[in-house]
Structure 1
């Protein structure tokens, strides 16, 4: 019984092996489908796109208040210091820091006020979605704002 199964398998393999070259010789080559695109980048390649909309109000600096577009690689948009802002964001990415993470709710912050300045940053950074709020409400928020300068303007 085992010998019969082995012989059948060998005969089937031989028949398929003989038919394969004939089948490929007759069949014309077809073009390959395009590679799939996932989340703005090629499959398997991380997306490093940075496009942000920065909206600032109450900074005390009339030229800093408003809405600015920031694009990186290459630096551009309507942001007044686009190259410096992109350099800061690139350094944060290299060091593994996320400058858009909100302050921990359990953080101990000094109860000082830096003024009414507020900012919102939306878009993508390193291909990841960003929707972050910034203020000068306490010591932690002031520090967070200052760490993101020049993406955010000086609020004094």
Structure 2
């Protein structure tokens, strides 16, 4: 009896309840990307502050360039790049100063947690900042 019950369960699980083939996987509900961006010392009082950005079916939040910022993040995703990755320790960076601007980005992007800091302390950090414009404001040091 137990053997029949186990076999019936295995057959039903493998073929679907009506014997019409395997059951399709449940769709995964993906939450929109949600980021908090804090900017300070940019030299532009209107750019400094904390902004919320949500990139889903349509951009939401109070980020001043929400639509363009979401489009930029979507390009990174399409290219398979991580815009929040720190500068590699093996890189040589030009010793140039791009100004005192700093940014902190936290939240969720593409299903993973983000906690990234940005500055303009050298050539590599300036390049990293500028690659994220307009998520981060345009700053010229």
Q: TM-score, normalised by structure 1?
A: 0.71
1:77 corresponds to: 61
Q: Which runs of 5+ in 2 are unaligned?
A: 9-24
Aligned CA-pair RMSD: 2.3
- 47-56 or 117-126: which moved more? 47-56
> If each structure's helix is expressed as a fraction of its own residues, which one has the higher value?
1
Q: State the partner residue of 2:94.
A: 110
Q: Contact 1:53–1:122 (CA<8 Å) still a contact in 2? A: yes
How many matched pairs?
120
**Distance verdict in 2 for CA 1:45–1:110, change over 3 Å:** same
Offset at residue 49 of structure 1 (A): 2.4
Matched, 1:138 2:88: no
Structure with max Cα Rg: 1
What is the distance in 2 between the residues matched to 1:47 and 1:78?
22
In the alignment, structure 1 segments of 5+ residues that lack a partner are 1-11, 21-41
* TM-score, normalised by the number of residues in structure 2: 0.78
Distance in 2 of aligned mates of 1:46 and 1:108: 41
Selected match of 1:59 from 34, 42, 50? 42
> What is residue 89 of structure 1 aligned with on the other side?
73
